[in-house]
Amino acid sequence: MDHRQLGQTDLKVGELALGTMTFGEQNTEAEAHRQLDIALDAGVNLIDTAEMYPVPPMESSWGLSETYIGTWFKRSGHRHKVVLATKATGPGVHLPHIRGGQSTHSAANLSAALDGSLRRLQTDFIDLYQLHWPDRPTNTFGQLGYKPAQAEVPPKLEDALRALDSFISAGKVRHIGLSNETPWGVMSFIQLAERCGLARMVSIQNPYNLLNRSFEVGLAEIADREHAGLLAYSPLGFGTLTGKYAGGARPANARISRFSRFVRYTNEQGLAATARYVELAREFDLDPAHMAISFILSRRYVTSAIIGARTEAQLHHNLASVRYPLPKELLKAIDKIHAQIPNPCP
């Protein structure tokens, strides 16, 4: 597995990272530990989690993803081999069970979030601490259109950045990053860092896949020119790009089968595009999942694609994607489909 520079840091991370939002809901603690072992053996060193995981978020299970990683660190002694990334929950989502709903990006809330993550993860520091989503009204998680509140309080980005910078000074965090951010948000944080002499955001964790290439409009240039690479999540679009949901199929225990709320990648246009991509992969004698992940790795502004899995077999299969770089003629064919059905699942 190739390794790529994480922003302007001295860290190199595998081109595939392990996402852990199934730990605690779709995966037991033992299964989570086994996935971590498999990923590390395959060359993965970036492990991504969040204080609100697993997903779907529920009071009965929140924090378990971090907890399972923490018990794995204690059992294996592998903390020094891992670039550990986690995220602080943001406001606006109904999560009253997390810190009593106190999730704006104030210094006090961020400090409480970080200390909780450190405790569950059984570590003294986080390598990459990310803001899970913005502390302001914006179009995240598939929402379209910009609809700011009429009496919106100006975003206090500087307060959040100063708090994050203080965590670095205290040795609790090595680097900071953003997630589910907009071009305005990323550039505002970068400019604040330069103007105020504060820590710089080194990465952007946003959705990016064959069904949602909206990152390419605005954010890709920022990621490339400002050296804040993309950590691409949902590379398989909730598994739809494997083709396993074709024809309305709902495999037992699969995410979309279990949780009806996950409809982002199953609208009419998304299903039509998926069918085209699956057919194209097979024309080139490739597995659809390998093609979908390898496409992401072909973008120079991508630092790492975050893969997740419910089973060991799925994890092994997704890890194999690095062995299948895509030829130019296949990339051109992908772009042709994209031009005909652009971003059907934003």
Each residue's pLDDT, cut to its tens digit, for the chain (346 residues) gives 999 999 999 999 999 999 999 999 999 999 999 999 999 999 999 999 999 999 999 999 999 999 999 999 999 999 999 999 999 999 977 799 999 999 999 999 999 999 999 999 999 999 999 999 999 888 777 777 777 765 555 678 999 999 999 999 999 999 999 999 999 999 999 999 999 999 999 999 999 999 999 999 999 999 999 999 999 999 999 999 999 888 777 777 767 757 666 778 889 999 999 999 999 999 999 999 999 999 999 999 999 999 999 999 999 999 999 999 999 999 999 999 999 999 999 9
Does residue 200 belong to any structural domain of this protein? Answer: yes
Does residue 37 belong to any structural domain of this protein? Answer: yes
Does residue 93 belong to any structural domain of this protein? Answer: yes
Does residue 345 belong to any structural domain of this protein? Answer: no
Interatomic CA distance for residues 287 and 135, integer angstroms: 39
Does residue 148 belong to any structural domain of this protein? Answer: no
- Kindly write down the DSSP assignment for every residue of 13-76, as one continuous string: EESEEEE-TTBTTTB-HHHHHHHHHHHHHTT--EEE--TT-SSS--TTTTTHHHHHHHHHHHHH
For the domain that residue 51 is a member of, what is the CATH number? 3.20.20.100
74 within 8 A of 68, measured Cβ to Cβ:
no
Residue 208 annotated among the catalytic residues of the structure: no
Number of separate domains in the chain: 1
- For residues 330-345, b (16+ Cβ closer than 10 Å) or e, as one string? beebbeebbeebebbb
Does residue 149 belong to any structural domain of this protein? Answer: no
- For residues 62-93, b (16+ Cβ closer than 10 Å) or e, as one string? bbbbbbbbbbbbeeeeebeebbbbbbbbbbee
Please state whether the peptide bond connecting residue 54 to the residue before it is cis, i.e. omega within 30 degrees of 0: yes
CA angle 99, 189, 183 (to 5 degrees): 100
Does residue 260 belong to any structural domain of this protein? Answer: yes
Residue 177 structural domain: 3-142+154-340
The residues facing 304 across adjacent strands are: 231
**Catalytic option among 53, 129, 208, 233:** 53
Does residue 298 belong to any structural domain of this protein? Answer: yes
